Amino acid sequence: MAGMKKIFVLASFAESLSNFRGKLLAALAEAGVEVHAAAPDLSVDATTTRALTRLGSRCHDVPLTRTGLSPLQDSGTLFALVRLLRQVRPTHFFCYTIKPLIYGTLAAWLVGVPQRTALITGLGYAFNAEAKGLHSVLQRLLRLMYKVALSRATRVVFQNPDDLALFIQLGLVEQDKTALVSGSGISLDEFCQQPLPSVVQCHFLLIARLLRDKGIYEYIEAARLVKARYPHAVFHMVGWIDSNPSAIRENDLKSWIAEGLIHFHGRLDDVRERLSASHVYVLPSYREGTPRTVLEAMATGRAVVTTDAPGCRETVINGDNGFLVPVADVEALATAMAHFLDDPKLIARMGQRGREIAEEKYDVNKVNAQMLKYMGVVA
């Protein structure tokens, strides 16, 4: 149909399209936009393909590796994206995470897609503390690639003000093309407020990929301190070890389980039951875009302990819906968790405030309405 809007959405991980962007894809389809979703090996992920098809999206495979820098492979990714975009001929392009952002935005610019939107969902190793040696060379290269790609974007959307300020400070993006949203939002219908379990024992929960910079080791050491004073405190962990260079050691995980420090639940496709069984959610991360698990916990009506770090600090008003602690401060983390054991009334009061803040600020429908404007899909 002449004049019909058509968007091409590029991800580095197929599941993320339905799990993290499903509501956005649905909103695009409801706005009358023809949606094309692409990711590596999407066609072999039958569950995700079915979910995307139900949302009204057309699915495409792209040859893209999530990690590593191989000039040959990455050149192949760029050329494959150019070919695919020429076939689809979208009017709008949208991407998130580092490789889709770099190669996707360049491909969309080369093909002449009019509206090219990049979403910064968090900062990886390209923005860690000052690196040395080979890591420093790689860091400078990645930042240069970001700068080149973002100069070809028509809009760059950030999920927290710290990341936005850093990109401007480093000269990676022009301020006049930036925008800010409250994370990816959360579905308040899917994550309903749940009654709290009995407070005979206080159950703390962490959900994350098991990486050092998610604060896993701090969580464990703080749990050890808390359990020494409050033996009835219970600590749960949901997650998995992947190939990331900062992944924790599997032997450490096994020793924590054997020691009885944590109840480990592995990787869960649906975390709602585990959230419902908890009293307090804990995420001692070093940096986030906006942590989805914190939003899920808040929507469920759970108090939150997280760090005074970019992305995390926006979700918690200290002393209102939870507590903020300094990054990598085990003592402060243990003290924050102990507040709920000393005064169990905080659990319900702060959990209720978390739900209210989720409704006010993080409703996925409100966030997506902003996203559609920033993407140039609606006026």
179 and 209 fall within a common domain: no
> How far apart, in whole angstroms, are the C-alpha atoms of residue 371 and residue 356?
22
End-to-end Cα separation, the chain, in angstroms: 20
154 and 18 fall within a common domain: yes
pLDDT in tens, 18-32: 999 999 999 999 999
- Other Cβ atoms less than 10 A from the Cβ of 18: the count is 22
195 in a domain, yes or no?
no
Judge contact between 18 and 56, C-beta under 8 A: no
129 and 51 fall within a common domain: yes
235 and 130 fall within a common domain: no
State how many domains the chain has: 2
114 in a domain, yes or no?
yes
> For residue 203, what pLDDT band results from cuts at 50, 70 and 90?
very high
355 and 370 fall within a common domain: no
> How far apart, in whole angstroms, are the C-alpha atoms of residue 281 and residue 283?
7
158 and 249 fall within a common domain: no
190 in a domain, yes or no?
no
For residue 37, what are its two tokens?
């979703």
Tell me the average pLDDT across 309-320.
Answer: 97
192 in a domain, yes or no?
no
> For residue 128, what pLDDT band results from cuts at 50, 70 and 90?
low
Domain with residue 271: its CATH number is 3.40.50.2000
181 and 97 fall within a common domain: yes
379 in a domain, yes or no?
no
335 by Cβ neighbours in 10 Å (0-12 / 13-18 / 19+) ranks as middle
For residue 304, the enclosing domain spans 203-361
345 and 369 fall within a common domain: no
162 and 233 fall within a common domain: no
Q: What is the pLDDT of residue 197?
A: 96
pLDDT in tens, 329-379: 999 999 999 999 999 999 999 999 999 999 999 999 999 999 999 999 998
- Other Cβ atoms less than 10 A from the Cβ of 258: the count is 8
Q: What percent of the chain has pLDDT over 70?
A: 98
> How far apart, in whole angstroms, are the C-alpha atoms of residue 325 and residue 312?
10
324 and 267 fall within a common domain: yes
Tell me the average pLDDT across 81-105.
Answer: 97
> How far apart, in whole angstroms, are the C-alpha atoms of residue 164 and residue 176?
12
Cite the DSSP H helix spans in 237-285.
Answer: 250-259, 272-276
Q: Which of 123, 178, 172 is nearest to 145 (CA)?
A: 172
> For residue 127, what pLDDT band results from cuts at 50, 70 and 90?
confident
173 in a domain, yes or no?
yes
Strands 303-307 and 234-238: unpaired
49 or 140, higher pLDDT: 49
Q: What is the pLDDT of residue 243?
A: 78
Judge contact between 288 and 311, C-beta under 8 A: yes
130 or 104, higher pLDDT: 104
> How far apart, in whole angstroms, are the C-alpha atoms of residue 217 and residue 161?
27
For 258, how many CA atoms within 13 A lie in the half-sphere containing its CB?
Answer: 6
18 and 165 fall within a common domain: yes
Judge contact between 178 and 170, C-beta under 8 A: no
194 in a domain, yes or no?
no
214 and 356 fall within a common domain: yes
193 in a domain, yes or no?
no
> How far apart, in whole angstroms, are the C-alpha atoms of residue 242 and residue 245?
9
Q: What is the pLDDT of residue 134?
A: 75
- Other Cβ atoms less than 10 A from the Cβ of 122: the count is 19
| Residue 70 confidence (pLDDT) above 70 | yes
How many residues are present in the chain?
Answer: 379
Cite the DSSP H helix spans in 71-215.
Answer: 71-88, 98-99, 105-111, 133-150, 161-169
